[in-house]
Amino acid sequence: MLLMKDILDEKDNRLREKSKEVKFPLTDEDKKTVDDMIEFLTNSQIDELATKYDLRPGMGLAAVQLGILKRFFVVVHEYDEGKFDNYVIFNPKLVSNSEEIIYVGEGEGCLSVNREVCGIVPRYARCTVEGYDVDGNKIRIRAREELAVAFQHELDHLDGILFTDKIDKKNPFKGKDIYREI
Protein backbone atom coordinates (compact mmCIF):
# COMPACT_ATOMS: atom_id res chain seq x y z
CA MET A 1 0.00 0.00 0.00
CA LEU A 2 1.26 3.47 -0.91
CA LEU A 3 1.78 5.96 1.91
CA MET A 4 2.57 9.67 1.94
CA LYS A 5 6.26 8.87 2.47
CA ASP A 6 6.30 7.15 -0.95
CA ILE A 7 5.46 10.40 -2.75
CA LEU A 8 8.38 12.59 -3.80
CA ASP A 9 8.63 16.05 -2.26
CA GLU A 10 8.92 19.10 -4.53
CA LYS A 11 12.62 19.40 -3.58
CA ASP A 12 13.34 16.10 -5.37
CA ASN A 13 14.90 16.87 -8.77
CA ARG A 14 13.22 13.85 -10.41
CA LEU A 15 9.98 15.85 -10.39
CA ARG A 16 11.63 18.27 -12.85
CA GLU A 17 12.47 15.58 -15.40
CA LYS A 18 10.40 14.80 -18.48
CA SER A 19 8.83 11.35 -18.27
CA LYS A 20 9.34 8.77 -21.05
CA GLU A 21 6.64 7.13 -23.21
CA VAL A 22 5.29 3.81 -21.91
CA LYS A 23 5.64 0.69 -24.05
CA PHE A 24 2.90 -1.94 -24.27
CA PRO A 25 2.15 -4.50 -23.03
CA LEU A 26 2.55 -3.06 -19.54
CA THR A 27 4.85 -4.72 -17.05
CA ASP A 28 3.28 -6.39 -14.02
CA GLU A 29 5.07 -3.74 -11.95
CA ASP A 30 3.34 -0.90 -13.86
CA LYS A 31 -0.05 -2.60 -13.43
CA LYS A 32 0.55 -2.94 -9.68
CA THR A 33 1.62 0.71 -9.49
CA VAL A 34 -1.68 1.74 -11.14
CA ASP A 35 -3.67 -0.36 -8.64
CA ASP A 36 -1.69 1.14 -5.74
CA MET A 37 -2.27 4.67 -7.05
CA ILE A 38 -6.03 4.10 -7.35
CA GLU A 39 -6.18 2.64 -3.83
CA PHE A 40 -4.16 5.54 -2.37
CA LEU A 41 -6.21 8.27 -4.09
CA THR A 42 -9.53 6.63 -3.18
CA ASN A 43 -8.51 6.14 0.46
CA SER A 44 -7.21 9.71 0.67
CA GLN A 45 -10.68 11.04 -0.23
CA ILE A 46 -12.53 8.93 2.36
CA ASP A 47 -12.18 10.78 5.67
CA GLU A 48 -11.91 7.81 8.03
CA LEU A 49 -9.33 6.03 5.83
CA ALA A 50 -7.35 9.23 5.24
CA THR A 51 -7.17 9.69 9.01
CA LYS A 52 -6.36 6.03 9.68
CA TYR A 53 -3.47 5.96 7.17
CA ASP A 54 -2.42 9.62 7.65
CA LEU A 55 -3.08 10.57 4.01
CA ARG A 56 -3.52 14.06 2.60
CA PRO A 57 -6.48 14.17 0.23
CA GLY A 58 -5.53 13.89 -3.41
CA MET A 59 -7.40 13.48 -6.66
CA GLY A 60 -4.53 12.71 -9.01
CA LEU A 61 -1.08 11.21 -9.05
CA ALA A 62 1.49 11.01 -11.83
CA ALA A 63 3.98 8.13 -11.94
CA VAL A 64 6.88 10.59 -11.64
CA GLN A 65 5.62 11.52 -8.16
CA LEU A 66 6.57 7.98 -7.14
CA GLY A 67 9.98 8.30 -8.80
CA ILE A 68 8.83 6.41 -11.91
CA LEU A 69 9.74 8.46 -15.00
CA LYS A 70 7.01 7.04 -17.23
CA ARG A 71 4.20 8.95 -18.95
CA PHE A 72 1.10 7.91 -17.06
CA PHE A 73 -1.19 9.25 -14.41
CA VAL A 74 -4.24 8.26 -12.40
CA VAL A 75 -7.12 10.53 -11.42
CA VAL A 76 -9.77 9.34 -8.97
CA HIS A 77 -12.73 11.70 -9.19
CA GLU A 78 -15.42 11.64 -6.52
CA TYR A 79 -18.47 12.57 -8.58
CA ASP A 80 -20.95 11.88 -5.76
CA GLU A 81 -20.55 11.16 -2.04
CA GLY A 82 -18.52 7.94 -1.83
CA LYS A 83 -18.78 7.28 -5.61
CA PHE A 84 -15.64 7.47 -7.70
CA ASP A 85 -14.62 7.36 -11.36
CA ASN A 86 -11.08 6.17 -12.05
CA TYR A 87 -9.12 7.56 -14.97
CA VAL A 88 -5.85 5.85 -15.93
CA ILE A 89 -4.12 7.34 -18.95
CA PHE A 90 -0.85 6.20 -20.51
CA ASN A 91 1.09 8.45 -22.90
CA PRO A 92 -1.53 11.20 -22.55
CA LYS A 93 -1.69 14.18 -24.88
CA LEU A 94 -3.85 17.28 -24.65
CA VAL A 95 -5.55 17.36 -28.07
CA SER A 96 -8.02 20.22 -27.63
CA ASN A 97 -9.05 22.80 -25.08
CA SER A 98 -11.52 25.59 -24.49
CA GLU A 99 -10.59 29.23 -24.80
CA GLU A 100 -12.17 29.87 -21.41
CA ILE A 101 -9.71 29.95 -18.52
CA ILE A 102 -10.65 28.97 -14.98
CA TYR A 103 -8.89 28.63 -11.65
CA VAL A 104 -9.55 26.80 -8.39
CA GLY A 105 -10.75 29.43 -5.92
CA GLU A 106 -9.34 27.73 -2.85
CA GLY A 107 -6.08 27.17 -4.72
CA GLU A 108 -4.56 24.09 -6.29
CA GLY A 109 -2.73 21.60 -4.17
CA CYS A 110 -0.32 18.79 -4.87
CA LEU A 111 0.68 15.69 -2.93
CA SER A 112 4.32 16.59 -3.68
CA VAL A 113 3.99 20.16 -2.37
CA ASN A 114 3.80 19.94 1.41
CA ARG A 115 3.10 23.59 2.10
CA GLU A 116 0.34 26.15 1.67
CA VAL A 117 0.60 27.92 -1.71
CA CYS A 118 -1.54 30.95 -2.57
CA GLY A 119 -2.17 32.18 -6.07
CA ILE A 120 -4.05 31.60 -9.28
CA VAL A 121 -3.15 28.68 -11.54
CA PRO A 122 -4.79 29.38 -14.92
CA ARG A 123 -6.30 26.25 -16.51
CA TYR A 124 -8.56 25.51 -19.46
CA ALA A 125 -12.21 25.08 -18.44
CA ARG A 126 -12.57 22.10 -20.79
CA CYS A 127 -10.05 19.84 -22.44
CA THR A 128 -9.78 16.60 -24.37
CA VAL A 129 -7.00 14.16 -23.59
CA GLU A 130 -6.03 11.18 -25.73
CA GLY A 131 -3.87 8.30 -24.62
CA TYR A 132 -4.07 4.60 -23.88
CA ASP A 133 -5.71 2.46 -21.22
CA VAL A 134 -3.94 -0.33 -19.30
CA ASP A 135 -4.53 -2.75 -22.17
CA GLY A 136 -3.02 -0.41 -24.77
CA ASN A 137 -6.36 0.59 -26.29
CA LYS A 138 -6.60 4.17 -27.55
CA ILE A 139 -8.86 6.33 -25.37
CA ARG A 140 -10.16 9.87 -25.61
CA ILE A 141 -11.61 11.68 -22.61
CA ARG A 142 -13.37 15.04 -22.55
CA ALA A 143 -13.10 16.73 -19.19
CA ARG A 144 -14.55 19.89 -17.77
CA GLU A 145 -14.11 22.04 -14.68
CA GLU A 146 -12.51 20.19 -11.74
CA LEU A 147 -11.67 17.09 -13.80
CA ALA A 148 -10.10 19.23 -16.55
CA VAL A 149 -7.94 20.96 -13.93
CA ALA A 150 -6.80 17.58 -12.54
CA PHE A 151 -5.88 16.28 -16.01
CA GLN A 152 -3.88 19.42 -16.84
CA HIS A 153 -2.14 19.30 -13.43
CA GLU A 154 -1.06 15.67 -13.95
CA LEU A 155 -0.03 16.28 -17.58
CA ASP A 156 2.25 19.05 -16.33
CA HIS A 157 3.92 16.60 -13.93
CA LEU A 158 4.88 14.39 -16.87
CA ASP A 159 6.76 17.36 -18.35
CA GLY A 160 8.50 18.29 -15.09
CA ILE A 161 6.19 21.21 -14.32
CA LEU A 162 4.67 21.86 -10.87
CA PHE A 163 1.53 23.95 -10.36
CA THR A 164 3.61 26.46 -8.40
CA ASP A 165 5.46 27.28 -11.66
CA LYS A 166 2.20 28.55 -13.17
CA ILE A 167 1.56 31.16 -10.46
CA ASP A 168 2.80 34.64 -11.37
CA LYS A 169 5.60 35.32 -8.87
CA LYS A 170 5.17 39.11 -8.91
CA ASN A 171 1.36 39.05 -8.87
CA PRO A 172 0.05 35.71 -7.51
CA PHE A 173 -3.59 36.67 -8.07
CA LYS A 174 -3.10 37.95 -11.61
CA GLY A 175 -6.18 37.15 -13.70
CA LYS A 176 -8.62 36.99 -10.78
CA ASP A 177 -10.79 39.60 -12.51
CA ILE A 178 -10.79 37.90 -15.93
CA TYR A 179 -10.72 34.13 -15.25
CA ARG A 180 -13.69 32.21 -13.86
CA GLU A 181 -13.34 30.77 -10.37
CA ILE A 182 -14.50 27.22 -9.70
- Active-site entry in 10, 48, 154, 181: 154
As a 3-state breakdown, the chain gives helix, strand, coil percent values, each rounded to 5, of 30, 30, 40
Tally of CB atoms within 10 A around 120: 23
Distance CA 154, CA 141 (A): 14
* Four-CA torsion 144, 145, 149, 152, nearest 10 degrees: 20
Residue pair 141/126 in contact by the 8 Å Cβ criterion:
no
81 noted as active-site residue: no
Q: Residues with catalytic annotation?
A: 154
